[in-house]
Amino acid sequence: MKVLLAIDNSKYSAEAVKEVANRPWPPKTIVRVISVVEPVPPPAAELWYDASGSLEGVQQEMVKRATELTQKTSERLKQQGLKIESVVREGDARSVIVDEAQRWSADLVVLGSHGYTGIKRLLLGSIASSVVSNAPCSVEIVRRKQSKKKQ
């Protein structure tokens, strides 16, 4: 079985990693950990310039951080006895995850969800929703469990 685990540096992705780590998988399962670095949009780009004013340097730093994240996640999953691969891609996360699932012939895509609804979902978009709608395989969306509020 081929499992594509899409992560970012959020608590929602951490829940997806936990789910993959704690689940019994069939023998010979391969988990490919993917992190997508999206381009910095022009209006926000000015806020991200490094000391030398290089947007390219900022993009390189984002790729470096994504690589560290995928390696750290891969090591954690290897401790669970899983066979792991890791990749970092650049582009729009919605299409990059779907394209990776297609190219790699994934059997399952696993990713966390922020759980946005209504106007937030409209304004911020939903990577999870887009992957569910367009992936060539099954998709599992892991939601972070809400703690029960005391009354």
Q: How many domains does the chain have?
A: 1
Which pLDDT tens digit goes with each residue over 66-89? 999 999 999 999 998 899 999 999
Query: Does 149 reside within a domain?
Result: no
CA distance 6 to 111: 5
pLDDT tens readout for residues 89-136: 999 999 999 999 999 999 999 998 865 555 444 444 588 888 999 999
Does residue 148 sit within a domain? no
| Backbone phi, psi, residue 80, to 5° | -90, 5
Residue 86 lies in a domain: yes
CATH assignment at residue 46: 3.40.50.620
Q: Compute the residue count for the chain.
A: 151
Which residue range forms the structural domain that includes residue 117? 2-143
- Cα separation, 73 vs 65, in Å, equals 12
The H or E element spanning position 82 is none
pTM given for the model? 0.83
